[in-house]
């Protein structure tokens, strides 16, 4: 069976593709290798995947393509006939969406729609896609549950991810396409994105520059280690969505459906203060950070916390890597990769 992973040169896409290859799966990876951040990191990830595929004798092909290119998507599906699709390609970043809204519309909405259409017309058995904890927006109920209302996003990025969930449901309902939306909570770890806090903080501390701490440090995040994210994705791939026989149309649960559709939170379920996260990084580096305290950024939220009981019930897995273990692993990778 061939599995298509979009965004395979990205942070999460790289780790998921790597795991699939280790399991002996045939993988088609696509990525547009855009310049949102340093492309050399993306190319290094790809080199790792190619080397791994040779070592474990798994089939891996990479195509440089944009999911918002309908002709490229049609050709790809005709050529490789993937049976399962994991969509991890997206324009990422809440703050960047304030500055470049059309980048999100092109990738997260137009590209997502092309993938759904391709899945519909080419007999794809299962479609998994990355959503985000940002869909919970201004909700104050903690922890966040898939059953909660998510109709009040506070950023275009969050709105685009919520739109993905609604589009997926329509295709599940109309065409019986099994879809699973994965709401990731603050993912971090080796090979991470340079625009994310852990990467930015590590570079700044090592360079002796101050780190920018928003909302004066009064933030709480459900930091989730990349290996836990990967494990959850693989387990969800092995258990497709199906129609909920107990779905109640008069009192509907937004996390499930009478169609083959599911939504799952993927988070650590142990949110910690941002300042504790920074202290853990300081411990791992053996250096103290200079801190510049700033007000809350537009489109940001103060706290994220995942209720992962639905994921545990569906897959038997609950993310559990401690922040200390995760941060120390990231620092070890960072030092090795950058020759610190």
How does pLDDT run across 133-144, given as a tens digit for each residue?
999 997 889 999
In this predicted structure, the answer to whether residue 102 has a pLDDT above a threshold of 90 is no
More confident residue, 327 or 252: 327
In this predicted structure, the answer to whether residue 208 has a pLDDT above a threshold of 90 is yes
CB atoms within 10 A of CB 24: 10
Model confidence band, residue 339 (pLDDT cutoffs 50, 70, 90):
very high
Looking at 68-77, 100-109, 195-204, which range is the least confident one?
100-109
Model confidence band, residue 104 (pLDDT cutoffs 50, 70, 90):
confident
**Average pLDDT of the residues in 85-97:** 82
Model confidence band, residue 80 (pLDDT cutoffs 50, 70, 90):
very high
Q: What is the Cα–Cα distance from 184 to 157, expressed in whole angstroms?
A: 13
Distances (CA, A) of 308 to 53, 121, 182, 225, 297: 32, 33, 11, 14, 27
More confident residue, 138 or 14: 14
Q: What is the mean pLDDT of the chain?
A: 95
DSSP, res 253: -
Identify the bridge partners of residue 240 per DSSP, sorted by sequence position: none
Q: Read out DSSP for 57-71?
A: T--EEEEE--TT-HH
Which is nearest to 240 in space by CA: 268, 259, 267, 266? Answer: 259
In this predicted structure, the answer to whether residue 96 has a pLDDT above a threshold of 80 is no
In this predicted structure, the answer to whether residue 253 has a pLDDT above a threshold of 80 is yes
pLDDT at 229: 98
pLDDT at 99: 77
Residue 277 annotated as catalytic? no
Q: What is the Cα–Cα distance from 63 to 104, expressed in whole angstroms?
A: 21
All structural domains of the chain: 2-188+226-269+306-320 (3.40.50.720)
**Average pLDDT of the residues in 195-210:** 96
Q: Are 303 and 142 in contact (CB under 8 A)?
A: yes
Percent of the chain whose pLDDT exceeds 90: 85
Pick the catalytic residue from 36, 37, 157, 225.
Answer: 157
In this predicted structure, the answer to whether residue 163 has a pLDDT above a threshold of 80 is yes
Distances (CA, A) of 135 to 50, 237, 283, 293, 308: 34, 22, 33, 26, 16
**Average pLDDT of the residues in 185-194:** 97
Number of H helices, E strands in the chain: 12, 13
**Average pLDDT of the residues in 50-68:** 95
pLDDT at 100: 79
Instruction: Please state whether beta strands 26-31 and 2-6 pair in parallel, antiparallel, or not at all (unpaired).
Output: parallel
**Average pLDDT of the residues in 228-239:** 98
pLDDT at 89: 94
In this predicted structure, the answer to whether residue 217 has a pLDDT above a threshold of 80 is yes
């Amino acid at each position: 069976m061939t599995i298509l992973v979009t965004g395979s040169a990205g942070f999460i896409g790289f780790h998921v593709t790597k795991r699939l290859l280790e399991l002996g799966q045939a993988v088609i990876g696509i990525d547009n290798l855009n310049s949102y951040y340093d492309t050399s990191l993306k190319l290094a990830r790809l080199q790792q995947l190619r080397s791994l595929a040779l070592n474990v004798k798994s089939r891996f092909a990479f195509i440089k393509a944009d999911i918002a290119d309908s002709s490229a998507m049609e050709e790809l599906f005709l050529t490789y006939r993937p049976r399962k699709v994991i969509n991890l390609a997206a324009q990422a970043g809440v703050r960047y969406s304030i500055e470049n809204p059309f980048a999100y519309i092109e990738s997260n909405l137009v590209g997502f729609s092309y993938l759904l259409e391709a899945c519909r017309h080419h007999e794809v058995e299962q479609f998994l896609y990355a959503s985000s904890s940002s869909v919970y927006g201004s909700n104050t109920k903690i922890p966040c549950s898939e059953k909660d209302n998510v109709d009040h996003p506070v950023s275009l990025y969050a709105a685009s991810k919520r739109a993905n969930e609604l589009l997926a449901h329509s295709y599940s309902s109309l065409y019986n396409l099994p879809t699973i939306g994965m709401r990731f909570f603050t993912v971090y770890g080796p090979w991470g994105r340079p625009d994310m806090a852990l990467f930015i903080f590590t570079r700044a501390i090592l360079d002796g520059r101050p780190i920018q701490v928003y909302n004066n440090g009064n933030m709480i995040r459900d930091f989730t280690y990349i290996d836990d994210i990967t494990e959850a994705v693989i387990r969800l791939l092995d258990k497709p969505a199906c129609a909920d026989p107990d779905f109640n149309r008069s009192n509907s649960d937004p996390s499930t459906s009478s169609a083959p559709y599911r939504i799952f939170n993927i988070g650590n379920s142990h949110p910690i203060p941002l300042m504790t996260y920074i202290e853990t990084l300081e411990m791992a580096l053996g250096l103290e950070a200079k801190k510049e305290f700033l007000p809350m950024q537009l489109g940001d939220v103060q706290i994220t916390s995942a209720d992962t009981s639905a994921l545990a019930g569906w897959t038997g897995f609950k993310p559990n890597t401690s922040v200390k273990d995760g941060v120390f692993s990231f620092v070890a990778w960072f030092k090795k990769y950058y020759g610190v």
